[in-house]
Structure 1
Amino acid sequence: MSKNMQVVILAGGRGTRLGRLTDDIPKPMVPIHGKPFLYYDLQMLKAQGYRDILILTGYLGKRIEEYFKDGVGLDLHIAYSHEETPLGTGGALKLAENKISGNFILMNGDTLFPLELHELVDFFYRQDRMGAIAVSKDPSCRPAFNITTNEDGLVKAYHKKLPSSGASYASGGVGVFKHDLLQTIPAGRPCSLEEDVYDILIRNHDLAAYVAQGPFYDMGTQERLKIIREFLAT
């Protein structure tokens, strides 16, 4: 069941903190060792047996579609949902509702979290909550710690914009969710998954935290890009 689950990738970001690098390409297409960053996420998914991919595009999304096409060249099946105007992470997910077939894995197209996805999926089904997100307590992620949990391992607070000194984990940009989540997102207007939707799940005790081993890699700044290049060169 796990390997048949659809993977939805949020890839609509512009990446303004990367300056001129994203003048003519979307953030997930920034090259790393001659390949777009998103290529490495897709390779990780294929290596673990996940081949049904839906990419949610926004800023210069055609560049992503032109490069990866239908995914056949990578032995994947790739479909797309494109937002014409910025809708936020939640709004982009809602827009794609009719292309999401059931419970799904959701991941950011600008982060790389090399974890065993089937273990996260198994955890999600054991918890039987609306969602489960992968978090890390690796010391290298410490400046970005933004998740606090309660004694039951449920997310108690998600500090989206500013890391919290009282937080115990960093959100790695990967989660598993029930299809019913899409019904809670308002249609036709901008909505943040992290700030709006997660807030509802947290208040309803419906978001579990899966503690994964090791760090994750975020390409949001020039310094983080350097770290990713080093990691992917090994």
Structure 2
Amino acid sequence: MKVVILAGGFGTRLSEETAVRPKPMVEVGGRPILWHIMKIYSHYGFKDFVILGGYKVDYIRNYFLNYRGKQTDYTIDLKSGHVEWLRGINEDWTVTVLDTGSESLTGGRIKRAKDYIGNETFCLTYGDGVSDINISKLVESHKASDCWCTLTAVTQPGRYGALRLDDKSSHVMAFREKGEVDGGLINGGFFVCEPEVLDLIDDDSTTWENEPMERMVKMDKLGYYHHQGYWQSMDSLRDRMVLESKWADNPPWKVWND
């Protein structure tokens, strides 16, 4: 199952960092937060990634093109270009990096990846949030439902979109993005989607959190998985500082062992 990660936005609320690199490449503990997200998924056996780049996508491309050289020792024959790697690396990932356009909105980015996603169930998340969520249980919950998309509902007050949930059916009854006084359960990303959701996205100007989700709510095809553990997005410099402090002292989202 592929893991699709949205990584193309401008990250304007983290402009101190994103003036030189895309937000998913802002580091926590010396590693891009994108790497942390990928480590979470790979811990549960999901290792085929599709990165939806846009703003400063070359930064992401270069990171993965040079990934092995930065992680391990090597000997290079400068004349022939042959490289002998002196030790291996831990990440047995397949990574596809796509340029989905600097101006595309979240839905448009996903739509542009249709040919790479294929006609199969896929995971989807944002490139700026970490959690100790059990991805395997999330996928099991989705497969047990009749929904086209299952989002992860997490607790976070304030500046995010509020959800109204049906406890009996595990379906989302209403979705409202970024109200000023919202609290309670919110959309934390970490979606599992059926390929049918791609047909609900009109074009590059479509926001994933608006029309497609609203259509699924009306069709009773948007479900939720309630995660009661740790979740934190990196939406501001303060958020990054929170994550840095957590990383220095037993980070709760570090579910992997290496």
The answer to whether the superposition gives a TM-score over 0.5 is: yes
1:218 maps to: 233
* Higher alpha-carbon Rg: 2
1:46 to 35, 42, 47: 42
For residues 67-121 of structure 1, give each alpha carbon's deviation from its aligned partner in whole angstroms, at most 9, with x where no partner exists: 0239775320001221234111100000110000211000101111221111111
TM-score of the superposed pair, with normalisation by structure 1: 0.90
Q: What is the one-letter code of the residue matched to 2:8?
A: G
Q: 2:148 touches 2:194 (CA, 8 Å); kept in 1? A: yes
SS at match of 1:121: helix
Cα distance, 1:13 vs. partner?
Answer: 1.4
Matched, 1:80 2:97: yes
1:205 maps to: 220
Q: Using a 3 Å threshold, how does the CA distance of structure 1 residues 176 and 163 change in structure 2: closer, same or farther? A: farther
| Aligned pairs for 1:157-176 within 5 A | 157-162=174-179, 164-165=181-182, 168-176=184-192
| Aligned pairs for 1:13-92 within 5 A | 13-69=9-65, 74-92=91-109
SS at match of 1:46: helix
Q: 2:150 touches 2:192 (CA, 8 Å); kept in 1? A: yes
Q: 1:146 touches 1:160 (CA, 8 Å); kept in 2? A: yes
2:5 maps to: 9
Q: 2:161 touches 2:178 (CA, 8 Å); kept in 1? A: no
For residues 96-153 of structure 1, give each alpha carbon's deviation from its aligned partner in whole angstroms, at most 9, with x where no partner exists: 100002110001011112211111111111112111111123xxx2334621112422
CA distance in 1, matches of 2:140, 2:104: 31
| Unmatched runs of 5 consecutive residues or more in structure 1 | none
SS at match of 1:134: strand
> Paired residues, what number?
225
1:148 to 159, 164, 167: 164
1:136 maps to: 154
Q: 1:198 touches 1:207 (CA, 8 Å); kept in 2? A: yes
1:124 maps to: 142
Q: What is the one-letter code of the residue matched to 1:28?
A: P
SS at match of 1:193: coil
Could you tell me the percent identity over the aligned residues?
A: 26
Q: What is the one-letter code of the residue matched to 2:40?
A: M
CA distance in 2, matches of 1:121, 1:162: 29
RMSD across aligned C-alpha pairs, in angstroms?
Answer: 1.8
CA distance in 2, matches of 1:162, 1:230: 28
Q: 2:9 touches 2:102 (CA, 8 Å); kept in 1? A: no
Shifted more, 128-137 versus 65-74: the winner is 65-74
Q: Could you say which structure has the higher helix fraction?
A: 1
Cα distance, 1:30 vs. partner?
Answer: 0.8
| Unmatched runs of 5 consecutive residues or more in structure 2 | 69-88, 251-258
